[in-house]
Copies of this chain bind each other. A is one copy, B any other.
Amino acid sequence: VAASIADVARRSGVSVATVSRALRGLPNVSPATRDRVRVAADELHYVADPNAARLAGQRTWTIGLVLPMLSTWYHSRLFEGIERAGEELGYDVLPYVVGGRERLRAFLADQPFRKRVDVLVVADVRLDEAVLADLRATGVPVLVCGMHVEGASSLRLDDRAATAGATRHLLDLGHTDIAVIGGLTDDPFDFAVPLERIAGVRDALGAAGLALPDDHVQPGDHRPESGERAMQTLLALRPRPTGVIALSDEMAIGALHAVRQAGLRVPDDVSVVGFDDHDVARHVELTTVRQDVVGIGTRLVEMLVAELADPAAGPRHEIAPTELVVRGTTGAPAGAAPRKHTAAVAATDPV
């Protein structure tokens, strides 16, 4: 049976109040006393019971991370970034995986996070204003990652500009028939992000006098299989698109597979652009839009600390940078001359 604060108090000959102060580094404790207490605590292998501390202290020291899934590259990285930054400040990170309508509904209905976390980071989960209002009504501060929402601080990419840049890269190479993989799916995931990214493609296409037909936007759920299927559909189109933008690297890899299985070459017959700069992207020579996911996690923790420190301050909205990384899966379409050279960042090996 573990030692309690009373045991430490007895052993060091002081009161529990002093033990609490001494161990937490609060002022108004004489150095000598603090040492005695520390020694006693060590000898007894004492650690404060988090539940008791949280009950009395009114803080949970826990960050709730709401995300649609855990095992995609992007989400596991985000988790890692938040966990690392949070751990240094003494926060636990508790995942709430709400992929699929049912789990999201249950999460919103049961609100298992109440009295359980100090703050909620909602990543890539569609939150309309009503749902957000529900969340905020619980009194739990909410930060949003991946999209812009009124009434809550947010950190996101400029998704629209990012895919517009990727699209211009393809246009510059001479592509005129461009498609997108990763449009909205009904289930089990429901990001708001795809809309922005597709809008970005439309922006760039429109500026070049081109359109994005409906059949040029194929759904995908961020698993490679969905990218493969989407690409198969696109390859069956006549005329066949020569440039494809996948909204995640994982789908891009599935798409590449489909192209090669169809006996076509990359990039001669089809150019492919991904999104994320996944660990393996460099190793499959994938041109992609890079984002610093771990950095985003770190920044979210900083924002959340600021928010907790000054809840009165209004919501802050920040944009994390992206960067087009040109590798081998994009090139001029067979039989077309490039319009001009893309002013893109060249792929470089990480140092």
Residues of A within 8 A of B (CB): 1-2, 45, 47-52, 54-55, 60, 69-73, 75-77, 79-80, 83-84, 87, 92-95, 97, 110-112, 114-116, 138-139, 223-225, 228, 250, 253-254, 256-257, 279-280, 282-285, 350
Contact = CB atoms under 8 A, between A and B. Distances in A.
A86 B70 CA distance: 14
Nearest to A258: B283
B2 A47 contact: no
A157 B32 CA distance: 53
28 contacts: A2-B115, A2-B139, A45-B111, A47-B112, A47-B115, A48-B115, A49-B115, A51-B54, A51-B55, A55-B55, A69-B80, A70-B76, A70-B83, A71-B73, A73-B73, A76-B79, A83-B95, A83-B97, A84-B97, A87-B97, A93-B94, A93-B95, A94-B94, A95-B95, A223-B279, A225-B350, A253-B284, A257-B284
A206 B211 CA distance: 63
Contact of A76 (B71, B280, B284): B71
A284 B228 CA distance: 12
Contacts of A139: 1-2
Nearest to A223: B279
Closest 8 CB pairs of A and B: A76-B76, A257-B283, A70-B80, A51-B55, A51-B54, A49-B115, A71-B76, A71-B80
A77 B83 contact: no
Nearest to A255: B283
A157 B52 CA distance: 39
A221 to B, nearest CB: 12
Contacts of A80: 69-71, 97
Contacts of A77: 71
Contact of A254 (B2, B84, B116, B283): B283
Contacts of A279: 223-224, 250
Contacts of A92: 94
Given A47-B115, A70-B76, A228-B283, 12 more contacts: A2-B114, A47-B112, A50-B51, A50-B116, A51-B55, A70-B80, A70-B83, A83-B97, A84-B97, A224-B282, A257-B283, A257-B285
Contacts of A79: 70-71, 76, 95
